[in-house]
């Protein structure tokens, strides 16, 4: 997958990317329709189970190979780039699919890629095959511009103690990847078996990707190398989240357009009223911009060059985060009463979009970062 027919900087989709999209979309259409996701979330809530669909994750991660897209071929991965991961995330966003792709195959994977120890390489091999699922023990609300100081400390006996809030994907992880601060020493990255941690899911705004509090009390852990990859993981995940937000926005737009063509009031489709058409035309334009911005971030992240990456991620996040929320809010409003019901899946998208807006830096955080990156400094005093 590392070979591409077109220049890596194109903002269009390559043939390889379109093939990957078709495979993911076909899987999700069969196995994860919005109503199936809603049913899954509901049954998980009644039985006290996690809302993730681990059968679907197995099919996506192992059979399609999405788990190992970002892992180099010599470690057993596909050696693909952020561009391909972005296409997977577009489709997952479109389906609000409850799978730990972003938490395991992007955040934890990228953190481990920067860790470099043999233990990290070994773990990456198992992540690539889909045999193991991991989660990065860092708050989903962390911003790539001010990565949080590690809240977990290393004891003299080599065990870990501490508490991390707002973690995604921990409930279904086999391994937790934990940034650890050591007294007098440099912070380092550790791997902890999930069974050695206490993981408590919090009632979450986003029903399809809840957050959890992860606690360690003298938990046995093994060092896997440097924490340098954690900041990179946050930047990569922020840039790729824009593609998930694009997928969320696209579903909301197309579902709303289809609905207003069908729904009749005053003896005509409500979609024939200009008050509605103009709102949807504006939303369409926002989504068109979101696609260009998300593609640009994925292309620059995938090219592996530093120049322009931070600006591209900042622009994509500042725009796409807002667009996804706007699209989901319009979806609820233009569906009228039905949009307000639990039965209609629109709320799953609103909850995902609003949570994504906060995740990995708010639009305001990204604009603040752009003030420096674009040399547009604030007031002097």
Partner 1 sequence: MAWDEAAVDERAQAFLAEHDPEEMGRLDFLRARFDAGLAWVHFPEGLGGLGAARGLQAVVERRFRGTPDNNPGLIAIGLGMAAPTILAFGTDEQRRRFLRPLWTGEEVWCQLFSEPGAGSDLATLATRAVGEGDEWVVDGQKVWTSGAHHARWAILVARTDPDVPKHRGLSYFVCDMEAPGVEVRPLRQITGEAEFNEVFLTGVRLPDSLRLGEVGDGWRVAQTTLMNERVAIGGTPTRRTMIGLLGETWRERPELRTHALHQRLLSLWVDAEVMRLTATRLREQLAAGHPGPEGSGMKLAFARLNQELTGLEVELLREDGLAYDDWTFRRSDGVDFLGRGSGYRYLRAKGNSIEGGTSEILRNIIAERVLGLPSEPRVDKDVAWKDLPR
Q: Are strands 152-154 and 188-193 parallel, antiparallel or unpaired?
A: unpaired
Secondary structure (3-state) at 143: coil
Alpha helices in 48-79 (DSSP H): 54-58
Of the pair 112, 346, the CB lying nearest partner 1 is at 346
Of the pair 149, 268, the CB lying nearest partner 1 is at 268
Q: Which bin fits 213, alpha (ψ -120 to 50), beta or left (φ > 0)?
A: beta
Of the pair 139, 322, the CB lying nearest partner 1 is at 322
Contact 167, 135 (CB under 8 A): yes
Shortest separation between residue 34's beta carbon and partner 1, angstroms:
20
Q: Which pair of structure tokens corresponds to residue 106?
A: 């992007």
Half-sphere exposure of residue 46, counting CA atoms within 13 Å on the CB side? 5
Shortest separation between residue 205's beta carbon and partner 1, angstroms:
25
Secondary structure (3-state) at 252: helix
Of the pair 58, 279, the CB lying nearest partner 1 is at 279
Of the pair 97, 323, the CB lying nearest partner 1 is at 323
Buried b (16+ CB within 10 A) or exposed e, 160-176: bebebbbbbbbbbbbbb
Alpha helices in the chain (DSSP H): 15-31, 34-47, 54-58, 82-94, 109-113, 118-128, 228-262, 274-303, 309-334, 346-358, 363-373
Compute the radius of gyration of the chain from its Cα atoms.
Answer: 21
C-alpha to C-alpha distance for 345 and 36, rounded to whole angstroms: 10
Shortest separation between residue 284's beta carbon and partner 1, angstroms:
6
C-alpha to C-alpha distance for 252 and 274, rounded to whole angstroms: 19
Of the pair 224, 323, the CB lying nearest partner 1 is at 323
| CA dihedral sign of residues 330, 142, 197, 223 | positive
Phi and psi at residue 128, in whole multiples of 5°? Answer: -60, -40
* Residues near 69 by beta carbon (within 8 Å), at least 6 away in sequence: 1, 77, 78, 80, 84, 85, 88, 105
User: What are residue 192's DSSP bridge partners?
Assistant: 176
Of the pair 266, 342, the CB lying nearest partner 1 is at 266
Shortest separation between residue 290's beta carbon and partner 1, angstroms:
8
Shortest separation between residue 123's beta carbon and partner 1, angstroms:
36
C-alpha to C-alpha distance for 89 and 184, rounded to whole angstroms: 40
Shortest separation between residue 254's beta carbon and partner 1, angstroms:
9
Binding residues for partner 1 (CB under 8 A):
10-12, 257, 260-261, 268-269, 271-274, 276-278, 280-282, 284-285, 288-293, 295-296, 311, 314-315, 318-319, 367-368, 370-371, 374-380
Of the pair 46, 274, the CB lying nearest partner 1 is at 274
SS3 content of the chain, % helix, strand, coil (to 5): 55, 15, 30
Shortest separation between residue 17's beta carbon and partner 1, angstroms:
14
Q: Tokens 């706007």 label which residue?
A: 326
**How far is C-alpha 264 from the geometric centre of its chain's CA atoms?**
37
Shortest separation between residue 215's beta carbon and partner 1, angstroms:
38
Shortest separation between residue 242's beta carbon and partner 1, angstroms:
11
Of the pair 12, 340, the CB lying nearest partner 1 is at 12
Shortest separation between residue 296's beta carbon and partner 1, angstroms:
5
Of the pair 203, 267, the CB lying nearest partner 1 is at 267
Phi and psi at residue 56, in whole multiples of 5°? Answer: -65, -40
């Amino acid at each position: 997958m590392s070979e591409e027919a077109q220049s890596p900087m194109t903002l269009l989709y390559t043939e390889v990317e379109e093939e990957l999209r078709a495979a993911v979309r076909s899987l999700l259409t069969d196995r994860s329709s919005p109503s199936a996701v809603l049913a899954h979330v509901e049954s998980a809530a009644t039985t006290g189970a996690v809302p993730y669909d681990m059968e679907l994750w197995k099919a996506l991660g192992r059979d399609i190979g999405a788990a190992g897209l970002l892992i180099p071929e010599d470690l057993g991965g596909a050696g693909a780039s952020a561009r391909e991961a972005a296409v997977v995330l577009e489709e997952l966003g479109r389906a609000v699919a409850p799978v730990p792709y972003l938490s395991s195959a992007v955040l934890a994977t990228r953190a481990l890629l920067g860790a470099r120890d043999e233990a990290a390489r070994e773990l990456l091999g198992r992540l690539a095959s889909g045999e193991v699922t991991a989660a990065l023990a860092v708050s989903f609300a962390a911003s790539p511009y001010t990565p949080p100081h590690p809240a977990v400390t290393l004891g003299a006996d080599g065990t870990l103690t501490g508490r991390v809030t707002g973690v995604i994907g921990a409930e279904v992880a086999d391994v937790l990847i934990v940034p650890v601060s050591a007294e007098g020493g440099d912070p380092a990255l550790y791997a902890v078996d999930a069974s050695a941690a206490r993981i408590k899911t919090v009632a979450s705004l986003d029903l399809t990707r809840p957050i959890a509090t992860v606690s360690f009390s003298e938990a046995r852990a093994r060092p896997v190398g440097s924490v340098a990859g954690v900041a990179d993981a946050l930047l990569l995940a922020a840039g790729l989240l824009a593609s998930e937000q694009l997928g969320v926005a696209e579903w909301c737009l197309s579902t709303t357009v289809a609905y207003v063509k069908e729904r009749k009031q005053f003896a005509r489709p409500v979609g024939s009223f200009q008050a509605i058409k103009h709102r949807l035309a504006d939303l369409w334009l926002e989504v068109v911009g979101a696609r260009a911005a998300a593609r640009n971030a994925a292309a620059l992240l995938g090219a592996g060059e530093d120049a322009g990456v931070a600006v591209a991620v900042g622009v994509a996040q500042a725009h796409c985060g807002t667009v996804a929320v706007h699209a989901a809010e319009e979806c609820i409003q233009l569906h009228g009463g039905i949009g307000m019901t639990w039965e209609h899946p629109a709320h799953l998208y609103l909850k995902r979009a609003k949570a994504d807006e906060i995740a990995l830096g708010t639009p305001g955080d990204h604009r603040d970062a752009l003030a420096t990156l674009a040399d547009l400094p604030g007031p002097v005093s």
